[in-house]
Amino acid sequence: MSAALPALPFARPSLDETTIAGVADVLRSGWITSGPWVRTFEERLSALCGGRPVRAVSSATAAIEIALQLCGIGPGDEVIGSAQSFFAVSNMIEKAGATPVFVDCDLVTRNIDVVGVERAVTARTKAIVPTHWPGSATDMDALLALAARHRLRVIEDAALSFGSRFGGRFGGSFGDVTTFSFHPNKNLTTIEGGAIVVNGEDEAKRVETLRFHGIERLPDGTRDVAFPGGKFNLPDVNARIGAGQLDRLDALLGRRRALAERYFERWRPGTGCLLPPRPSPGDGATWNMFCVLLPLERLTLSRAAFREAMQREGIGTGVSYEALHLTTLGRRHGGREGQFPNAERIARETVTLPLFSDMADGDVERVCETAARILAAHRR
């Protein structure tokens, strides 16, 4: 590691002093669990989503679990999703008692293959869970039309794309059910947290019940439980951070877009790496991460060795994501090598490079130059 340069993580949240002071005010108020700040945060999210009801929860994983419950997914059902996504999607399908059915993705955009979805539909299929990737958009018009033909629910996993606009519309403002993530490495953070966007107040009320033990209040003031809900409510402390992030949302997203564009400008073309799709000027996509595929067949080092070499230079990297059908859970449903070649190649070759709002332009140059030097030194 170069002694003159500070460590550069691949992700870090951006928290301003006003938000930090606001959290202190919440702590002093004595009301730190779900309360007025959660309602404020939900109302502001709803305004972004075209007035659709939004309910905040403790994580995006919780949002997916609740969305599956809201859609009535259970034992005997099948839910179609991409083999290239985070573990939470398939985990929650399994937890609901349903069967995850995987399809491949596009190699460059990484978005779900809509044609593959059509082929995977059976009489047991109840829902589709597409994962939206940074820098591009899933073809939701085609996917929603497919879902309508087969009478399926669509649960949009928008954990990586909060703030994106598709055709001028904010992601989550159209379609069926949408889930967001507010993890510290996302476009907006509440430390931990997530949200679910639904179609009307009846569904919103159902979410409120599902996120808090399944409790329903009876007219006489007592309570009842008809479904074993979890405890997935978001505390006011977290919601206050989210509200502070919304105050700066345009600046945070704009900075991420600028950094992504700088990666496209500065990345050495001779490295042989496959980059994500470069959006056109004015495109509404957001950048939660910047992933490249390494040309491992033309290198004398493995991905792990490349990441170790970057770490020695003080640059952190990640892996996004492993192929879901090749996990132990996925193999129980018939997952095997060669089944989804694009998802598998991404899983083998992908490296997530540093990208967060507080990065400097020079940090991008440092990443690009260091990666190019390592790759050149290990070319076959």
Q: Hey, what are 7's tokens?
A: 């460590």
Question: Long-range contacts of range 276-281, CB-CB < 8 Å, 24 or more positions apart?
Answer: 276/108, 276/109, 276/110, 276/133, 276/134, 276/135, 276/136, 277/108, 277/109, 277/135, 277/136, 278/135, 279/135, 279/136
The span from the CA of 379 to the CA of 37, in Å, is 54
User: In sequence order, what are the residues at sequence separation of 6 or more whose Cβ sits closer than 8 angstroms to the Cβ of residue 354?
Assistant: 8, 9, 10, 11, 290, 315, 316, 317, 363, 367
Query: Which residues does residue 102 pair with via DSSP β-bridges, in sequence order?
Result: 81
**Token reading at 241:** 């951070």
Active site residue 205: no
Q: Give the number of other Cβ atoms within 10 Å of residue 113's Cβ.
A: 20
Quick one: DSSP state of residue 323? B
The catalytic position among 95, 126, 186, 205 is 186
Cα angle vertex 117, ends 113, 120, to 5°? 135
Q: How far apart are CA 89 and CA 91, in angstroms?
A: 5
Residue type (1 letter), 216: E
Residues labelled catalytic: 186
